[in-house]
Amino acid sequence: MRYIQRHSAFARGLHWIHTIACLSLFATGLILFIPSVAAAVGMATVQGARMVHRVMAVIFIVAPIAAIIISPKGFVHLWKSLFFKWDADDKEFMAKFFPYLFFGAKQHMPPQKINKSGQGVADGALIFLSIAISITGVIIWFPELFSAGIVRWSIMLHSGLMVLIGVFMLAHIYLGAGIFQPYRGSGKLMFGDGRVSESDALYHWGTWAKEELKKGDNVIAE
């Protein structure tokens, strides 16, 4: 049985930290988004949630920045793997993805590079939305430093971005954690040992898997 080491311990650690921060931010943010929830949980819980929201927000912002400083190469690798010029296979993948997703994965999908074109769109969007929600969050945290108009827009954008990120995140979890049947086993890529089996790698990222298997640097045989 052969495996490819797809994610480093550093990348997985960062993903773990960001997952915890992100989910905590969602849970605590929802308390403020829905007044009836705030009323139901009571004042002390609301204030506690606000405090947790701020602590987690700092982690949410600082962890990726620190990661870029510690491992600039890792950042470049991530960036290149998400944002690349699409060839015919990438375009075909994107065109076939929704029929594949909604109609029992019966479509034959073209081989993909280190990331699927759709992954680039979804994960890239998550990065930009996360930057935007962080900026608006900082403005709401320190409203005295900004004009009332900017704060008003930030409050609204912060909530709108939460919804958008929520939508992307649901899809990200559904596919990434392997809830979708054809993606079974994907969860351990980021939450486990970071290895992908030869079969899974060839199914998901055919072009990349072949290159890795030829090169052999990251291949583990057990």
Q: For binding to another protein (CB under 8 A), which residues are involved?
A: 32-36, 38-39, 43, 46-47, 50, 101-105, 143, 148-149, 151-153, 155-156, 159-160, 162-164, 166-167, 170-171, 174, 179-182, 198-200, 202-203, 206, 209-210, 213-214
Backbone angles phi, psi at 3, to 5 degrees: -130, 155
Strand order across the beta sheet in which 195-197 lies = 195-197, 2-5, 219-221
Euclidean distance between CA atoms 42 and 180, whole angstroms = 37
Answer whether 74's CB lies under 8 Å from 29's CB: no
Separation of alpha carbons 220 and 218, rounded Å: 7
Q: Which is nearer to another protein, 32 or 125 (CB)?
A: 32
State how far the Cα of 79 lies from the Cα of 81, in Å rounded to an integer: 5
In the bound complex, what is the minimum distance in angstroms from residue 170's beta carbon to another protein? Answer: 5
CB closer to another protein out of 36 and 73: 36
Choice between 65 and 170, CB closer to another protein: 170
Q: How far is the CB of 57 from another protein (least distance, A)?
A: 14
Q: Give 128 or 174: the residue with its C-beta nearer to another protein.
A: 174
Q: How many CB atoms lie within 10 A of CB 78?
A: 20
* 2 and 198 Cβ atoms separated by less than 8 Å: yes
Helix (H, G, I), strand (E, B) or coil at 180: coil
Tell me whether residue 166 or residue 192 sits nearer to another protein (CB atom): 166
Tokens of 57: 């927000």
Q: How far is the CB of 31 from another protein (least distance, A)?
A: 9
We find the least distance from the C-beta atom of residue 181 to another protein, in angstroms, to be: 4
Minimum Å gap between C-beta 37 and another protein is: 9
